[in-house]
Structure 1
Amino acid sequence: MTYLPPVSRDLSRSDRFADIPLAVSVTGLERRYGSRLVIQSLDLEIREGEFVALLGESGCGKTTLLRALAGLDTPDAGEIRAPARPAVVFQEHRLLPWATLWRNVALGRETVEGRAAAARALAEVGLQGREDDWPRRLSGGQSQRVALARALMREPKLLLLDEPFAALDALTRIRMHDLVRDLVAVHRPGVLIVTHDVDEAITLADRILVMRTGRIAASFTPAEIDRQLLRQALLEELGVTHH
């Protein structure tokens, strides 16, 4: 996938991100696997500093879309316009077990300046002073903190999160939600998080999209809707009618 400068276009909706530059613009995206059309004629815009959550049943195309945005999968049609390759945090932290934490964060920038930048990034996620520690000594939540530090060290315009908190216990997940919100407020990337957790989407997102059969089927703005009514509407969009 070739990453090009995003084209600024007016949004049909009116919100606090309307005049902010685009982090990514997707037009007419399609992806097939054999005869199966996984993503069809999909359009999407995410602004810098905007946190977008993507919900949908398994197999609806969420991860395929995220992989296309990350440059890990090549669409069959359409265009993705973004300023540079985005940063990605996966459900698995994917730390190198043979490398210290600062080298995992710097990854490709193992210099004196890289170490200093990695130390600052680790401090941002609450792991100050542990630059020379090893991944095997970390809890699951701490490992994801390192993965976040690695992603944000490069100051990406677009941050992609692929169910990064799914394997964490409930309390650790709450702490990670708070951390991610704070980091996004400081660094201001556009964010797309793929999740199956309705409450997580409501907690984190400025905008929630529901994907169905390869299309964006619905869009919600949490700030404009009562939380309980929004939760009910999202569950109904996902086909959960008794809850």
Structure 2
Amino acid sequence: MDFDLSALAYTASIWVLPVLLAITLHEAAHGFIAWSYGDDTAYKLGRVSINPLKHIHPIGTILLPLLLIVFKAPFLFGYAKPVPVATHRLRRPRRDMVYVAAAGPTANLILATISAVLFNIVWLLPDAPAMWLAQTLKISIIVNLVLAVLNLLPLPPLDGGRIAVGLLPISLAVPLARLERYGIFILLAAFFLLPYLGRELGLSINVFDWLIRTPVNWMLPFFSSLAGMTEALRL
């Protein structure tokens, strides 16, 4: 397979910063809220930090996204080292875990908003850096919205699953919590295996479109308007 190295380098350059910031602030937010509610586990490990090196997972944060970019995958997928939370050390474990889980997606929505606001002033820079920063901010908006929506899916170990476990009656929360060890496999099967099987059977089964692309595209006109763009972004 032939690669245009200069084009690949440029593509990587406009993706690296948004992905690192999105993942870093997402995980740091979990650690900060856990710390504020009584669990200092992440704080003692240095995970309440905006230093990306504290959160980078060599495969999930670097190798996997890079491979998806190189092979022009239809969407980007990645993850960081999970922030450890000792639930029993939280003041009110079931309630406080909802806040800890919600902190990650909230951080991504805030970062998407900041990226949109900054887009309004990017054109004050000279042309070349302005164009590069504009592309980077566009990607930052999309990456953060995708990460927020993905993590709000009600499937443990995603944040949405942990929020659901904290809010549902015990009779429903317990069986949902038991899915945590299988959650990542369910997610990967839904996003990769089901579409493949669908194509083999002549069916259109695109779980990513249904669960991620549709809600993100529903939100993008608002963020595009906030950024002062004449045309709304699309995922």
TM-score > 0.5 by shorter chain: no
| TM-score normalised to structure 2 length | 0.30
| TM-score normalised to structure 1 length | 0.29
Q: Is the helix fraction higher in 1 or 2?
A: 2
Q: Is the strand fraction higher in 1 or 2?
A: 1
More contact order relative to length (CA 8 Å, sep ≥ 6): 1
